[in-house]
């Protein structure tokens, strides 16, 4: 009930491609869905977040799509660059769950 | 504004020892959360402190404890270290609650030999 399932585990795309990372959750009380980006040796950094009252949110080249009925949300990275190579984590929280529940992460590699 | 700072950045301990990690949140942030990150289990929530009180706790044994001081700085302690405690320990701060924008520190890399 408390898990957030993230896929794929790893992803390789060419520069300019649009990697898509998917997450699914079970707890319908979750009401906050952030994505974090982590580079080696650094802590995760908040990239973008969405709440269930909207189906899509864009910030620069990053877009979250949210499907409340399917209990799924995804991250799209437009015009990906080698500098986007990092590990991406989705997360969720809400209801009685007062802390973030993280997916297992997706290691993205963008080839030049 | 300075970010979240964690000290030390690296630690090597042996089994059975105890360790204390420190976290200084962003100025004005009152909520501090701790996470354990390992390759196998990913990011797992340890506990959250707000106004010097533990507000939320994850599923970790009692060997893991923490506290928060009046200036919002937080410490995490692990007693009787086990090999499986080797991990990156991350601290995150937010204004009031975890759902507010949460900022992570660089982490403390703990190695237990």
* HEC readout, A43-102: CCEEEEEECCCCCEEEECCEEEEEECCCCEEEEEECCCCHHHCEEEEEEEEECCEEEEEE
- B19-33, B40-54, B90-104: least confidently modelled range: B90-104
Residue of chain A whose alpha carbon sits nearest to that of B43: A102
Q: Which of A36, A89, A100 sits opposite B98 (nearest CB)?
A: A100
> A99 and B35 in contact (C-beta within 8 Å)?
no
Half-sphere exposure of B3 (CA within 13 A, CB side): 16
Inter-chain touch A98–B97, beta carbons under 8 Å? yes
Position A97 scores a pLDDT of 67
Q: Find residue A76's DSSP bridge partners.
A: A20, A63
Name every chain A residue with its beta carbon within 8 A of the beta carbon of B58: 99
Q: Which of A32, A34, A100 sits opposite B45 (nearest CB)?
A: A100
**Rounded distance between C-alpha atoms, residue B10 and residue B70, angstroms:** 26
pLDDT over 70 (residue A60): yes
User: Structure tokens of A22?
Assistant: 């998917």
pLDDT over 90 (residue B107): yes
Confidence of residue B50 (pLDDT cuts 50, 70, 90): very high
What's the average model confidence in pLDDT over B41-45?
Answer: 92
What's the average model confidence in pLDDT over A82-101?
Answer: 89
B100 vs B14, higher pLDDT: B14
Confidence of residue A13 (pLDDT cuts 50, 70, 90): very high
User: Structure tokens of B81?
Assistant: 């270290």
- Choose, out of B34, B48, B98, B109, the residue to mutate when testing the contact with A (most A CBs < 10 Å): B98
pLDDT over 60 (residue A1): no
Confidence of residue B105 (pLDDT cuts 50, 70, 90): very high
Q: Which residues contact A69 (CB under 8 A, 6 or more apart)?
A: none
pLDDT over 90 (residue B110): yes
Confidence of residue B1 (pLDDT cuts 50, 70, 90): low
pLDDT over 90 (residue A9): yes
Inter-chain touch B43–A34, beta carbons under 8 Å? no
Residue of chain A whose alpha carbon sits nearest to that of B10: A41
Position B100 scores a pLDDT of 76
What's the average model confidence in pLDDT over A71-88?
Answer: 97
pLDDT over 90 (residue B67): yes
pLDDT over 70 (residue A29): yes
Return the SS3 of B84: helix
Burial B51-65 (b: 16+ CB within 10 A, else e): eeeebbebebeeebb
Q: Which of A32, A45, A105 sits opposite B104 (nearest CB)?
A: A45
What's the average model confidence in pLDDT over B60-67?
Answer: 96
């Amino acid at each position: 009930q408390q898990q957030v399932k993230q896929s794929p585990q790893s992803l390789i795309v060419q520069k300019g491609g649009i990697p898509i990372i998917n997450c699914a959750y079970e707890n319908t009380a979750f009401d906050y869905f952030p994505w974090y980006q982590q580079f080696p040796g650094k802590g995760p950094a908040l990239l973008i977040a969405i709440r269930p009252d909207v189906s899509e949110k864009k910030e620069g080249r990053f877009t979250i799509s949210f499907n409340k009925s399917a209990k799924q949300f995804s991250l799209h990275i437009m015009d990906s660059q080698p500098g986007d190579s990092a590990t991406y984590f989705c997360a969720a929280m809400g209801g009685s769950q007062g802390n973030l529940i993280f997916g297992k992460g997706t290691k993205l590699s963008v080839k030049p | 504004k300075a970010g979240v700072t964690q000290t030390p950045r690296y630690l090597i301990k042996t089994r059975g020892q105890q360790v204390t990690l420190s976290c200084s949140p962003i100025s004005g942030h009152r909520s501090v959360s701790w996470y354990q990150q390992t390759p196998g289990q990913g990011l797992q929530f340890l506990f959250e402190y707000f106004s010097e009180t533990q507000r939320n706790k994850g599923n970790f044994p009692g060997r893991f404890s923490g506290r928060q001081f009046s200036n919002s700085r937080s410490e995490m302690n692990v007693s009787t270290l086990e090999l499986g405690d080797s991990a990156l320990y991350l601290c995150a701060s937010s204004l009031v609650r975890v759902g507010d924008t949460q900022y992570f520190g660089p982490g403390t890399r703990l190695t237990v030999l």
